[in-house]
Each structure stands twice: as structure tokens, then as C-alpha cells.
Chains A and B, each alone.
Chain A
């Protein structure tokens, strides 16, 4: 079945460490997205990519980095510069351009110890 796979499901990090969250899709979608979700808040866009080797900052990109070397993959690195990284991270994808329906992964929960 086609879908989006995020890993790991749970991740613990010490302060000062960089961590990378994986996102892989087999839907043949062109665009991929990373959102952050905190309790009581809506999803906030971190980065998005419409095509391979190109990506744009979202509303809260500071302290994060991404790459898009393959159509299927869009990993997110949470760097030590991110002040408050504990959150639920969601990867999504969509076909075509514009505001199409997003398909989401199951999420990765990052906790900083």
C-alpha cells in the first residue's frame, strides 16, 4: 500500500545534539512538507519542497534543516540551534502544485532531555 513512513516514532535527545527525522513516501508525490505540532496549537510549517533539490522555508524554519536529494525522501534535521525542539513532527506529501490534499505520516515525537 502507498503511504508515508516516518521514523523513528519516538526519539529522545540530549541538549546540544542534532537529530535527523526520516520521511519516505511511495506515492510518487512531487511536494513534501514538514510540520510541527505542539499541544493546543495548530500545525506549523517548518519546510516544504515542491521538486527534488529545491525547498523553501516555512513559518518556523529557524533551527531546522532539510534536504531533498530524491523524490521519495525528505529528511528533517533538528539542530542544536532549535531552542525548544520537544514536539510532535509530521511529514506530509501531495501531488501536483497548489493547495492539494495532503497525505500525512504517523508522526515522530521528539523529546529533549
Chain B
């Protein structure tokens, strides 16, 4: 069965304390692995798409990487404004939809 699992469920960081979020997947025919950021009470916002193992993308303090079995979202020297829920999702090669993980809620304290 295709599935995506995110860990940890919650992450509390001190400002400046770097860490990583994990998204492991067991899917067939992966078309793309997506990362989104969601603030409370709002819709998710797109961050990155990764298509092949070894690919990396960066945006400000965030860096996403992809292997054959998992993706990591690295947060370098986080600030309180990085506090949010981070969702990963996958798109299958024969699907017209994305399937989402449960998310990791990150809280960064000043």
C-alpha cells in the first residue's frame, strides 16, 4: 500500500537550533515529492518539489533533499516566524492528485 509517514509529529526548537524533519514514503511510480507549509487556520503554501533521488532545493533557511526512500526538510538557524506545520505529499505517475502525510508541527521559541 502506498503511504507517506512524517516524523516527528511535533518539534520544539530554540531560535537558532537547526534540525530536520523526515518524510518517508513507500509508493510506486513516484512522480514528485512536495513540501508545503501551513499556518494555523490557513491553507497550505507550496515550498518545494523534488523529482529524483539526490535532488536538493533551498529557500532561505529551508533545504529539502530526496533519497529513494525518504525526504528531509532541514531548517537551519530557525526563527520564530518559521513556526508552522510542514506537510509532505507525493504524486503518483498515474494519478491526478497528491496524497499528504500528517505533518510535523514546528514551534520555534525566541
Do A and B associate with each other? yes
A40 touches B102 (CB 8 A): yes
**A14-22, A75-83, A97-105: which one contacts chain B?**
A97-105
A96 to chain B, nearest CB (A): 9
Interface readout for B72-109 with A: 1 if CB under 8 Å, 0 if not?
Answer: 00000000000000010111100111111111000000
- Please give, as numbers and ranges, the residues of chain B lying within 8 Å of A42 by CB-CB distance: 4, 6, 87, 99-103
Size band of the A side of the interface? 20 to 34
- A99 in contact with B100 (CB, 8 Å): no
Q: Which of B43, B49, B99 contacts A104 (CB 8 A)?
A: B43
Question: In the assembly, what is the distance between CA of A35 and CA of B31, in Å?
Answer: 20
Find chain A residues with CB under 8 A from B87 CB. Answer: 42-43
Instruction: Give chain A residues whose Cβ lies under 8 Å from the Cβ of B46.
Output: 101-103
B25 CB within 8 Å of chain A = no
Judge if B17 is at the interface, Cβ distance under 8 Å: no
In the complex, which residues 51-74 of chain A have their Cβ closer than 8 Å to any Cβ of chain B? 58
The 9 closest A-B pairs by CB, nearest first: A99-B91, A104-B43, A42-B100, A43-B100, A99-B31, A42-B102, A99-B32, A104-B44, A42-B101
Q: List the interface of chain A (C-beta within 8 A of B).
A: 4, 31, 33, 35, 40-45, 48, 50, 58, 88, 90, 92, 97-107, 109
Q: A42-B4, A92-B43, A98-B95 are known contacts; what are 10 more A-B pairs with Cβ within 8 Å?
A: A40-B9, A42-B6, A42-B103, A48-B96, A48-B97, A58-B97, A99-B31, A102-B34, A104-B44, A107-B43
B residues neighboring A (CB under 8 Å): 4, 6, 9, 31-32, 34, 41-46, 49, 87, 89-92, 95-103
